[in-house]
Amino acid sequence: MAAPALPSSPLRRRPLLLGQVEGSPDHAVTMAALVPKEDGFLSVSEDRTVRVWLKRDSGQYWPSIYHPLPSPCSCMCINPETRRLSVGLDNGTISEFILSEDYNKMTPLKSYQAHQSRVLMVLFVLEMEWILSIGQDKHFTWHCSESGQRLGSYRISAGACGLQFDMETRHVFIGDHSGQVTILKLEQENSNLITTFRGHTGGITALCWDPVQRVLFSGSSDHSIIMWDIGGRKGTAIELQGHNDKVQSLFYAHHTRQLISCGADGGIVVWNMDVERQETPEWLDSDSCQKCDQPFFWNFKQMWDCKKIGLRQHHCRKCGKAVCGKCSSKRSSIPLMGFEFDVRVCDSCYESITDEERAPTATFHDSKHNVVHVHFDATRGWLLTSGTDKVIKLWDMTPVVS
């Protein structure tokens, strides 16, 4: 069972572990999702199988479907209304199936040769009858799910690793390994580049779109999450720091205004986004400490003039000023700026931060495995995590997110 990093309180209770299974004894589980309206879930793995796990009278989860495919399974998506399952494969194919109402049978529909190599993410858009996908071949493609024909493709400059779609505007968000997010506008048979933006120092590892607030969340290998204000058109970018390793998966529960993030550090972090957060300041450039005027070690002229040895440059995370170590000897959390952990601040900023401003805005829980993907059912408050340990865990998150 997960354990919180912070003291227990009514707002920081633990998620409850409802059950777990070993998804594949010898191969990695690449993705898992909760079965709509049933106590069960489905998984795809590198052993080339699709499995549907339903809870039996014994309280254990056992496969009701064990379906082999011709290539290792790399990703999937399921439409809860139609029970349409789209599975991306290592050979670049997307295979589609319809699951029976009792989840004991899956019927093949059609296959798409979407990519030249591994499919990394697939989305089915019921309203448009589109299949969207990104692949290891650095291409984004979209197909008509009725005819099976390819409608178009777009080449990304770096390997794509995140994909989201906004139905209202027909905008596609694509994150890549360079840390860039590309926004495309899709028409029936063509796409237009709207813009690109970058804020991470590492590659994008997860994207999450909230169509209600019109906010995009991006997770990265640099351990951070950035909330991009797309709908407000203000260019606001809020940074969230709560993981010690790369962020692997994100889900936003807009009914409670909470963001759930999972990472390679095993952490499940629940962020309260119903607070007035602040943008982190840009780091200022200076040749000397902006507090005591001591020269930094590259400022040879000032070192010679004042006969002093240059100091190493740091930055205060609250004001962004360039400071020396002596003038930034304090550490503090700044949750409203997204810093849930203690970070370097200059001495004057440290004195200005109140205890109320240090109050945490996130709760931390240990999943006990390296999470690669999560799926959240907001109606039941259930979270499904799949990890590199080949284990799938089902959590009741209502004590945390309600």
What confidence tier does 1 reach under pLDDT thresholds 50, 70, 90? very low
Identity of the amino acid at 153: S
Cβ distance 185 to 194 under 8 Å?
Answer: yes
Distance CA 55, CA 189 (A): 43
Which tens digits make up the pLDDT trace of 361-377?
Answer: 999 999 989 898 999 99
Give the N- to C-terminal CA distance of the chain in Å, as an integer. 19
pTM of structure: 0.86
Q: What phi and psi, each to the nearest 5 degrees, are found at residue 337?
A: -95, 5
Higher pLDDT, 58 or 130: 130
DSSP state of 400: H
Inter-residue contact 380 to 401 (CB < 8 Å)? no
Q: Is 132 helix (H, G, I), strand (E, B) or coil?
A: strand
pLDDT (average), residues 4-24: 66
Q: How confident is the model at residue 301 (pLDDT cuts 50, 70, 90)?
A: low
In DSSP terms, 46 is beta-bridged to none
Identify the bridge partners of residue 18 per DSSP, sorted by sequence position.
Answer: none
pLDDT at residue 267 is higher than 60: yes
303 pLDDT band (50/70/90 cuts)?
A: low
Mean pLDDT, residues 298-316 = 69
The H or E element spanning position 17 is strand 16-22
Contact indicator for 337, 320 with CB cutoff of 8 Å: no
Residues of the chain above pLDDT 90, percent: 64
In the predicted model, is pLDDT for residue 258 greater than 50?
yes
pLDDT band (50, 70, 90) for residue 302: low
* Measured distance CA(322)–CA(319) in Å, rounded: 9
| pLDDT, mean over the chain | 89
Token pair, residue 275, equals 């607070």
Average pLDDT over residues 332-338: 91
Angle at 64 between CA 58 and CA 67, to 5 degrees: 150
For the chain, what percent of residues have pLDDT higher than 70? 92
pLDDT band at 6 (very low <50, low <70, confident <90, very high): very low
Q: Which two tokens stand for residue 13?
A: 């209770």
Measured in whole angstroms, the distance separating CA 315 from the mean position of its chain's CA atoms is 27
* Band of pLDDT at residue 4, cut at 50, 70 and 90: very low
Residue 9, pLDDT above cutoff 60: no
8 Å CB contact between 345 and 330 = yes
Query: What pLDDT sits at residue 384?
Result: 95
Q: What is the mean pLDDT of residues 192-218?
A: 92
pLDDT at 3 over 60: no
Instruction: Give residue 233's pLDDT band: very low, low, confident or very high (50, 70, 90).
Output: low
How sure is the predictor about 255, in pLDDT bands with cuts at 50, 70 and 90?
confident
